[in-house]
């Protein structure tokens, strides 16, 4: 019996590792391309639904092309703000960040307050900006 359990566990462990993990409060960059995404599509935001947040559509990379993923309603999470998926160009490369829930966002801009500083106003928070200041510092 014990041997059968060990064998079953060893066979199922690799499958469990492939299952999607729970969404993290931190936002990770997990795709870098040299191909820019198309311009965002206009999607009218439906009327508000109590207890839900509208998560807008975005361009995803599937196979070897960009594919539009339409917006949808997602159950709200009290104390969190939804950070929508986005593409950011840095040094000729396009970085994709998945949508996620973030805590501690007083100004509701989708960026945690501790990482909100953008001294040079280029739209890239200082914590990920290779050149966070335009004045040479």
Within-domain flag for 71: yes
Q: How far apart are CA 55 and CA 38, in angstroms?
A: 19
Pick the closest to residue 31 from 83, 69, 1, 66 (CA basis).
Answer: 66
Looking at residues 79-92, what average pLDDT do you find?
87
Q: How far apart are CA 136 and CA 83, in angstroms?
A: 31
pLDDT band at 126 (very low <50, low <70, confident <90, very high): low
Within-domain flag for 13: no
In this prediction, residue 54 carries a pLDDT of: 92
Q: How far apart are CA 42 and CA 29, in angstroms?
A: 24
Residue 55 CA, chain-centre distance (Å), reads: 11
Enter the pTM of the model.
0.55
Within-domain flag for 36: yes
Within-domain flag for 1: no
Within-domain flag for 15: no
For the segment 25-84, what is each residue's pLDDT rounded down to a tens digit? 344 446 788 889 999 899 999 999 999 999 999 999 998 999 999 999 999 988 788 888
Within-domain flag for 39: yes
Within-domain flag for 110: yes
Within-domain flag for 55: yes
Q: How far apart are CA 9 and CA 64, in angstroms?
A: 36
Give how far Cα 103 sits from Cα of 8, 23, 55, 95, 120, Å. 39, 13, 17, 22, 24
Domain of residue 135, residue span: 24-137
Report how many domains make up the chain.
1
For the segment 1-36, what is each residue's pLDDT rounded down to a tens digit? 545 444 544 444 443 333 333 333 344 446 788 889
């Amino acid at each position: 019996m014990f041997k059968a359990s060990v064998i079953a566990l060893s066979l199922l462990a690799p499958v469990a590792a492939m299952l999607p993990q729970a969404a993290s409060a931190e936002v990770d960059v997990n795709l870098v391309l040299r191909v820019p995404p198309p311009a965002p599509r206009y999607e009218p935001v439906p009327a508000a639904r109590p207890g839900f947040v509208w998560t807008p559509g975005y361009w995803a990379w599937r196979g070897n092309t960009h594919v539009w993923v339409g917006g949808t309603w997602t159950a709200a999470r009290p104390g969190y703000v939804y950070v929508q998926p986005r593409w950011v160009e840095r040094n000729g490369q396009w970085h994709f960040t998945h949508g996620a829930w973030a805590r501690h966002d007083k100004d509701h801009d989708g960026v945690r307050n501790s990482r909100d500083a953008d001294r040079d106003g280029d739209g890239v928070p200082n914590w990920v900006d290779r050149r966070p200041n335009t004045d040479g510092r």
